[in-house]
Amino acid sequence: MNACTQCAVRDKAICHSLPEESLEELNRLGRHQIVKKGQALVWQGDESLLVGNVLEGALKLSVSSADGRDQTLGIVLPSDFIGRPFGATSMHSVIALTDSRVCTFSRSAFDTFAQDHQPLEHGLLERTLTDLDRARQWMMMLARKSAGERVAIFLLHIAKRHSSDKSDGPLRFELPLSRQDMADLLGLTIETVSRQITRLRDDGIITTPSRRAIVILDQDALEACTGEC
């Protein structure tokens, strides 16, 4: 396994606050794992055996209802943390949307390490609270926002994960999920998602060079659409 000090997402990952000697110890506990598109890393209801940081690619969090219907709860991207520390059971499945690379740890070994290293335990708490805030915002969006606002919010969320600073020029990125997964995540139909993307394109706010590619031509206008479209 590559040294944690060489990790491409170290500055944003949950372990960023650890000193070098602790990183070396953590490095010995982990391994890099390739997850192919469509492959499940974690299954809902199974024993929680591993946790980790996403290094490359995108994965979705999903749950299945008793009648077999799947619901996408969210997506995880590079530097995001996956798994359930200090928990016995996985509450959702983690499935690769693209070919992905994940730095994984045995949950039991990670739990012990976190208990012995306060900066990591603090990072877990901070990340958990951030995820809780994000979940509450997402609930509000699904309850109050229009279809156009939901699509604009989602596009901006993905765009901001590709760039930490507001870009003066067009910002291009690839959507890490299909239109159907996007519809499930936003509580819309695939036809509605397609109509809203077409409307943004017709208004000159974005272009769509391919099925997954998005180019934001007017970031200010897209931001305005998050509350006024």
Task: Give me the pLDDT at residue 66, please.
Answer: 81
Highest mean pLDDT among 67-81, 87-101, 154-168: 87-101
The pLDDT of residue 167: 52
Give me the number of domains the chain comprises: 2
The reported pLDDT for the residue numbered 137 is: 81
19 and 99 share one domain: yes
Looking at residue 168, what is its pLDDT?
A: 60
Split at pLDDT 50, 70, 90, the class of 2 is: low
Do the beta carbons of residue 33 and residue 27 sit within 8 Å? no
Give CA torsion, residues 169, 174, 179, 185, to 10 deg: -90
**What backbone phi and psi angles, to 5 degrees, belong to 98?**
-135, 165
Pick the range with the lowest mean pLDDT from 19-28, 53-62, 73-82, 158-167.
158-167
Q: Say yes or no: 108 and 19 in one domain.
A: yes
The whole-number average pLDDT for the span 174-202 is 92
Is the pLDDT at 88 greater than 80, yes or no? yes
Distances (CA, A) of 97 to 2, 16, 37, 59: 24, 26, 5, 5
What pLDDT is stored for residue 228 in this prediction?
A: 52
0.85 exceeded by the pTM? Answer: no
Tell me what the mean pLDDT of segment 154-172 comes to: 76
* Among 106, 141, 176, residue at a domain's last position: 141
| 160 pLDDT above the threshold of 90 | no
Q: Are 196 and 148 in contact (CB under 8 A)?
A: yes
Q: How far apart are CA 154 and CA 61, in angstroms?
A: 16
Q: What is the mean pLDDT of the chain?
A: 88
Share of the chain above pLDDT 70, in %: 94
d(CA 73, CA 88): 20
Report the pLDDT value the prediction gives residue 169, as an integer from 0 to 100: 67
129 plus 168 within the same structural domain? no
- Co-location of 161 and 120 in the same domain: no
pLDDT at 165: 47
92 with 134, same domain?
yes
108-148 residue pLDDT tens: 999 999 999 998 988 888 888 888 888 888 788 888 899 99
Q: Which two tokens stand for residue 149?
A: 């606002």
How many residues are recorded in the chain?
229
Last residue of a domain, one of 124, 141, 158: 141
> Is the same domain home to 40 and 131?
yes
Same domain? For 156 and 190 the reply is yes
Range of the domain at 175: 145-228
CA distances to 18, 67, 136, 144, 183 from 175, rounded to whole Å, are 32, 29, 23, 24, 13
User: Which tops the pLDDT comparison, 168 or 192?
Assistant: 192
Same domain, 129 and 20: yes
Residues 106 and 191 in one domain: no
Task: Select the more confidently predicted residue: 58 or 135.
Answer: 58
Domain boundary among 141, 160, 195: 141
Let me know whether 152 and 184 are in one domain.
yes
Does the structure show a pLDDT above 60 at 164? Answer: no
